[in-house]
Structure 1
Amino acid sequence: MRVIPAIDLRAGKCVRLRQGDYDRETVFGDDPAAMAARWEAGGASRIHLVDLDGAKAGRPVNVDAVRGILGRVSVPCQLGGGVRDGATISAWLQAGLERVIVGTQALRDPDWFVSMLEAYPQRLVLGLDAREGKVATEGWLETSSVDAVTLARRFDGLPLAAIIYTDIARDGTLDGPNLEATRALAESTRTPVIASGGVGTLADLERLKALPIDGVIVGRALYEGRFTLAEAIAAAGPPEPPASPT
């Protein structure tokens, strides 16, 4: 299971929101590029970026900060927030992102998202941000009536790189991930699933490792020093091989 450190961007700074609330923000640094370099040096094989202002505005906002990160690190980066049209997808991929994450617009217009998957195979990620199992949109400011598993199944079998599942109630907290919902989603689709939200201990990573998922995004716990990235990678690594029969 891959551990992916998160850099959430707001007003050009590294922040974390608690449960998606823009009024409950903690600033962890004013140099996102330096933060990305720190995670790369710590062993990250991919970095997760979120344009929080973009998610709220419906268009890219923290462009300079993202470009600064891409110019500083060599590991692949993925980004979500404010991706609502094909031109934005194309521009971000051309800027050097490995993957672009689409959430709100995939719910609004599934047929459009299918066309984007066909145009950019294995370069797009579906961002499923859920509140009590229902997909949230507009930077988590609105909650739809669509079930997260139902939306995931809509794109099953298409050239989708991954699905990121975030339980908003757990995001930005250290209360532990929603194991049941994450397992249910992972078992309902053939697309690789990445868990996000609530990881606070190495034990959380051990529990997630037992699920049929591809990776986990970790934010606040790393920023607060609950464990190091190296420790997280070790905890999420492959289990010990079985002893040889005697």
Structure 2
Amino acid sequence: MQVIPAIDLRGGLCVRLRQGDYDRETVFGDDPAAMAGRWVSEGATRIHLVDLDGAKAGKPVNVDAVRAVVQSVPVPCQLGGGVRDEKTIETWLEAGIERVIVGTQALRDPSWFRSMAEKHPGRLVLGLDARDGMVATDGWLETSNVSAAELAGRFDDLPLAAIIYTDIARDGTLEGPNLDATAALCRRVKTSVIASGGVGELADVDRLAALPVVGCIVGRALYEGKFSLADAVERAGRASARP
């Protein structure tokens, strides 16, 4: 299981939101590229980027900061936030992003998402952000009447790179991931699943590594020094090596 550090961008700064609330923001740094370099030095083999401004605006905003990150690290980067048209996908791919995450627009326009996934095989990720099991959209400002599992099932035949499942109630907290919902999603689909939200201690890394997930995204716990990325990578590697 890959441990993937998150860098959330707002106004060019590294921030974290609590439960997706833009009014509950903590700034952790003013140099995203330097932050990415730190995580790579501690063993990161992938960086997770979120354009928080883009999620609200519905278009790329933190492009310069993203380019700086991509150019500064030797590992692939994935990015989400406001990806709602083909031009945005192409903007991020041209900026050097390996995987582009689509959430809101996949729900709003399934046929468009299908066409994009088929046009860019292995380059798109379905971002499933859920509140009480239902898909949240528009930077988590709205909640739909479609369940995360149902939406994942609709697109399981596509050549997606992965599905990222985030329980909003856990995101930006240190309360532990939603293991039951994550495991249920893994059972529902054949597409690789990456868990996100709530990792607060090394034991959470162990618990996720016991599930059939290919990665877990970690944010606040790293920034607040609850554990080091190096320790998390080592724990995930040890768990993956078990027979």
Paired residue secondary structure (2:33):
helix
Q: Scaled by the length of structure 1, what TM-score is found?
A: 0.97
Identity of aligned residues (%): 74
Superposed CA offset, 1:95-114 (max 9, x none): 11110000000000011000
One-letter amino acid of the counterpart of residue 136, structure 1: A
Letter in 2 for 1:67: R
In the alignment, residue 219 of structure 1 is paired with which amino acid? G
Aligned residue runs from structure 1 range 171-182, under 5 A: 171-182=171-182
Equivalence for 2:20: 20
Could you list the per-position Cα deviations for residues 53-74 of structure 1 after superposition, in whole angstroms to 9, with x for gaps in the alignment?
1001111111111011111111
Q: Which runs of 5 or more residues in structure 2 are unaligned? A: none
Structure 1 residue aligned with 2:59? 59
Give me the TM-score of the superposition, normalised by structure 2. Answer: 0.98
Q: Quickly say closer, same or farther: Cα 1:105–1:241, change in 2 above 3 A.
A: closer
Alignment of 1:90-239 (within 5 A): 90-239=90-239
Larger radius of gyration: 1
For residue 187 of structure 1, give the secondary structure of its aligned residue in structure 2.
helix
The separation in 1 between residues aligned to 2:108 and 2:226, in whole angstroms, is 38
Coordinate RMSD, CA, aligned: 0.9
Taking the aligned partners of 1:235 and 1:160, their CA distance within structure 2 comes to 27
Superimposed CA distance per residue, residues 117-144 of structure 1 (whole angstroms, 9 cap, x where no aligned partner): 1100000000000000000000000000
- Letter paired with 2:134: K
- 1:41 aligned residue: 41
Structure 1: 4+ residue segments shifted above 4 A: none
Deviation of 1:241 (Å):
4.4
Distance 1:142 1:131 in 2: 10
Aligned residues: 242
Q: Distance in 2 between matches of 1:201 and 1:232?
A: 9
Question: Structure 1 stretches of 5 or more lacking a match?
Answer: none
